[in-house]
């Protein structure tokens, strides 16, 4: 039971130092500099029975190589597939990283220096020069902390990061550690990580950029931008700039179009600016101009920050999803951040290839199944005109012990962090708080009503909110709180496997049942079958390419009917192959 005790001590609910202020993406400017700490880091997995040797021996007090053997691991990347060691691929517990870095003496005075990790999965503790500076709970989202007081400007610095991928009943996604105590069948201290219905691999490590960045002492802390459109003849840009560190003696705000022409300006921290005949942000297929972005340039007492944004509106009726007051039909896919070798690690080449394939397929919408994707992916979606359903890591919330107060508070914190990061992104058209939870349990009702209400209220733009249900209309108790009914069903695959003839009957029945109960639009967020490339069978049979085509075709017959009434989209599962736990 050492692992359980140790987790209880060290994985207390911790809100990072970034809580309570903005989370602007680090950008170079005339007043700001960034320094990436990506590259090869030294690495060691703590394989002690309780996974606590690193804390007992205080590995952070010196370079890792001083306390034992290390290997080189790339950052950003998941560590699981980097070596040929199966035990590292399947490792659960604390993994330790460190590296040396230098800081320019130009940063020594009259500047804030901030250390930031864009994503470390799942829990993280960070030390700089042997001093703890920040803890963060939850993967997929950035956290940061000021570090100028612990840095050395006249010599080497080192940073140590401990990352833990253990999933418990109170994490997102939840999981459980199962111990095996029969030493005639299992080695001493043997345990496994159970992931419930989480059908994707639990990649671990530092998955996105690590960097330092500077700001002046008086700095732009946050920017919020809201847009409205009046008959496409004028747009209203309602912005608010939050300043920290002191008094803002000078304020200059300009709106620039894509050609860097100034189209509006102000000298206050909050204002509503008019833009005549704006170019609106549109998804692919709705307009000849897609993904058009403006820039809000803010200069506060010499600190300059440029925030991209698009002008568009989103609204839901009982039958339609409207973007800029025109009906939007989602032709989409579910995805994963997943690739050979790098796992969930950020990869610009992969991002570009994925979006080119999405355009080739005619996709205009994606869901960040089942966790927040990298900011670089979200920014690319902005520019490419791909609408995004922005989903939290709330997947597999299926057991009663996943609905407690600790779980609820963590879920609220995650949604708050996600909104703070993505609130200005025009591609984000809806928030999804969970995927396939046990929404038929009574305990799920207050839990998800709280989260959905909180999410809507926390977003300055009050975007639509949803979750993805896989429960039938007879038993689901939560969709009544969502703005859009999102459904995952695999008729003819997970049920009645191979029987294509039942798909239309069952799909029509499910749509009709939900619509009778709730006058809300429906989005079919997952359907599809496993297929072996190159396997051909005629007549079609499961796993053959012919079966996949027929399976999709049976769904499309019903989609084409429902699209004329209340269906607002269809999303194939999945865009590309991804790793699972089996």
Helix (H, G, I), strand (E, B) or coil at 299: strand
Closest CA to 240 of 292, 309, 293: 309
DSSP annotation of 19: T
> Which residues, 6+ apart, have CB-to-CB distance to 313 below 8 Å?
227, 228, 229, 322, 323, 324, 325
pLDDT at residue 11 in the model:
32
Distance CA 517, CA 523 (A): 16
Contact 530, 327 (CB under 8 A): no
Looking at residue 246, what DSSP letter applies?
S
CB atoms within 10 A of CB 62: 13
- Residue pLDDT, tens place only, 60-84: 999 999 999 999 999 999 999 999 9
Residues 111-146 have pLDDT tens digits of 999 999 999 999 999 999 999 999 999 999 999 999
Euclidean distance between CA atoms 77 and 43, whole angstroms: 12
Could you give the strand order of the β-sheet that contains 112-117, starting from the edge strand earlier in sequence?
34-36, 210-215, 112-117, 143-146
The answer for 512, left when phi > 0, alpha when psi is -120 to 50, beta otherwise, is alpha
Q: CB 11: neighbour CB atoms within 10 A?
A: 18
Residues with pLDDT less than 70, the chain: 1-20, 197-198, 582
Question: Which residue, among 66, 70, 63, has the nearest Cα to 101 in the 3D structure?
Answer: 63
Catalytic residue among 375, 391, 436, 526: 436
**Tally of CB atoms within 10 A around 413:** 19
Rounding to the nearest 10 degrees, give the CA dihedral for residues 118, 374, 280, 566: -130
What CA–CA distance (Å, rounded) separates 527 from 573?
A: 5
**Can 436 be counted among the known catalytic residues?**
yes
pLDDT given for residue 3 in this prediction: 38
CA distances from 553 to 465, 534, 558, 560 (A): 30, 19, 9, 10
| C-alpha of 504 from chain center | 33
State the pTM of this model. Answer: 0.94
pLDDT on residue 8: 34
């Amino acid at each position: 039971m050492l692992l359980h005790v140790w987790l209880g001590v060290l994985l207390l609910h911790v809100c990072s130092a970034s809580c309570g202020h903005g989370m602007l993406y680090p950008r170079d400017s005339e007043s700001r500099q960034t320094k990436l700490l990506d590259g090869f880091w030294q690495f060691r997995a703590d394989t002690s029975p309780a996974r606590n040797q690193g804390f007992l021996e205080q590995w952070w007090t010196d370079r890792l190589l001083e306390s034992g053997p290390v290997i080189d691991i790339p950052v950003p990347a998941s560590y699981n597939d980097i070596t040929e060691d199966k035990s590292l691929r399947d490792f659960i517990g604390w993994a330790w990283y460190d590296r040396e870095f230098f800081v320019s003496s130009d940063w020594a005075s009259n500047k804030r220096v901030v250390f930031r990790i864009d994503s470390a999965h799942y829990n993280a503790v960070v030390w700089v020069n042997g001093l703890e500076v920040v803890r963060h709970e939850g993967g997929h989202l950035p956290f940061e902390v000021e570090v100028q007081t612990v840095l050395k400007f006249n010599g080497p610095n080192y940073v140590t990061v401990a990352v833990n991928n253990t999933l418990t009943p109170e994490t997102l996604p939840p999981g459980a550690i199962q111990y095996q105590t029969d030493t005639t069948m299992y080695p001493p201290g043997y345990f496994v990580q159970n992931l419930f219905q989480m059908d994707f691999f639990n990649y671990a490590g530092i998955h996105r950029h690590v960097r330092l960045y500077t700001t002046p002492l008086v700095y732009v802390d946050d920017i919020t931008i809201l847009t409205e459109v009046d008959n496409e003849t004028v747009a209203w840009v309602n912005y608010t700039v939050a300043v920290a560190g002191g008094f803002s003696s000078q304020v200059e705000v300009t709106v620039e179009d894509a050609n860097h022409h100034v189209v509006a300006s102000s000298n206050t921290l909050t204002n509503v600016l008019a833009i005549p005949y704006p170019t609106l942000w549109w998804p692919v297929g709705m307009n000849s101009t897609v993904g058009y972005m403006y820039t809000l340039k803010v200069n506060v007492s010499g600190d300059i920050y440029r925030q991209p944004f698009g002008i568009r509106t989103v609204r839901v009726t009982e039958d339609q999803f409207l973007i800029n007051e025109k009906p939007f039909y989602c032709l989409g896919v579910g995805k994963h951040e997943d690739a050979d070798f790098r796992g969930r690690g950020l990869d610009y080449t992969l991002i570009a290839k994925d979006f080119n394939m999405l355009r080739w397929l005619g996709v205009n919408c994606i869901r960040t199944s089942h966790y927040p994707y990298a900011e670089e992916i979200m920014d690319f979606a902005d520019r490419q005109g791909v609408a995004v359903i922005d989903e939290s890591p709330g997947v597999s919330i299926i057991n009663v012990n996943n609905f407690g107060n600790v779980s609820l508070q963590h879920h609220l914190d995650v949604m708050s962090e996600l909104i703070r990061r993505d609130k200005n992104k025009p591609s984000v058209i809806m928030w999804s708080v969970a995927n396939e939870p046990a929404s038929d349990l009574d305990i799920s009702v207050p839990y998800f009503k709280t989260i959905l209400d909180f999410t809507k209220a926390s977003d300055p733009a009050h975007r639509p909110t949803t979750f993805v249900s896989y429960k039938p209309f007879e038993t689901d108790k939560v969709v009544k709180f969502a703005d859009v009914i999102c459904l995952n069903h695999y008729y003819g695959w997970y049920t009645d496997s191979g029987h294509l003839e039942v798909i239309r009957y069952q799909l029509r029945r499910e749509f009709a049942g939900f619509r009778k109960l709730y006058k809300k639009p429906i989005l079919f967020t997952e359907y599809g079958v496993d297929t072996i490339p190159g396997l051909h069978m005629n007549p079609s049979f499961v796993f053959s390419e012919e079966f996949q085509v027929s399976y999709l075709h049976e769904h499309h017959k019903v989609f084409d009917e429902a699209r004329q009434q209340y269906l607002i989209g269809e999303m194939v599962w999945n865009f590309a192959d991804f790793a699972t736990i089996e």
